[in-house]
Copies of this chain bind each other. A is one copy, B any other.
Amino acid sequence: MPLIERLTIIGTGLIGGSFALALRKAGEVGTVVGAGRSHENLETAQALGILDKIAPDAASAVKGADFVLLAVPVGQTEGVMQSIASSLEPDAVVSDAGSTKQDVVAMAQRHLSANLTRFVPGHPIAGAETSGAQAARADLFNGKNVVLTPLPETNFKALVKAQSAWQACGAKVSIMNASQHDRIFAAVSHLPHLLSYALVDMLASRPDSDLFFNYAASGFRDFTRIAGSNPEVWRDIALANRDALLTELGAYASKLEELKAALSTSDGDALKKIFSRAQEARNTWAKQD
């Protein structure tokens, strides 16, 4: 018997579609039902073998499901929770795939009522420059990290089921609390996005911006790649993780002050110390990753 008998995916894009494909490949899912805002995308998902059935809406999609994955943009998560709460089966495990977790936990506390004990917030760390069902692939999560941030109310059986599902997709699953998750990702993901957007906008705002862009080369290309990310998505993430991000922004501003002080006094030793520590840490990380 597969781990999941009837899986419902709300939002059958890159993440939701890849989750379904990976579970199918592992033989760990029976029927897959999908719902979403774009009927065209759902039909693509069915044509690609991601979905067995298309439901007319989220509430009817979750009927009969023993596992529900919410894989919609974070701005739609709360609405989906509201609409499915009274239709969920009494044993259904619910998970999500949002990049921030304390906000999702708060939404679940507001709307999932009795189902809260079977809610397992999740964050798959799998990059996505592409989107939509046609971008889904069975190996998207292979070797990637997935963080689960159970609530104090989450029951153990639900946590194990969510963990097993992601492991069946090939992911490395870690469990931590939502605030620790948000603190970590503020530093290693949300802050770098802000910093990259900031550099590009600083140059783009200049009257002679062309002059600068004309001479930007490969280092600039790498540093600013994430400034090509979707502005709405990152606005939502920044707002959702505001407090942790402000803390990291403050810490980063202090580090820049330290560099500025060293540079102002032409303190080459201090600069070299910072650069060397960073280089070593970066190269050590890059080798292990």
Contact = CB atoms under 8 A, between A and B. Distances in A.
Interface of A: 125, 127, 144-145, 147, 174, 184-185, 187-189, 191-205, 209, 211-232, 234-236, 238-239, 242, 245-246, 249-253, 255-256, 259-260, 263-264, 266, 268, 271-272, 274-283, 285-286, 288-289
Nearest to A125: B217
B184 A192 contact: no
Nearest to A144: B217
A260 B286 contact: no
B281 A220 contact: no
A246 B219 contact: no
Contact of A200 (B193, B216, B282): B282
B272 A232 contact: yes
B189 A219 contact: yes
B127 A189 contact: no
Nearest to A200: B278
A272 B226 CA distance: 15
A244 B246 CA distance: 28
Contacts of A202: 187, 251-252, 255
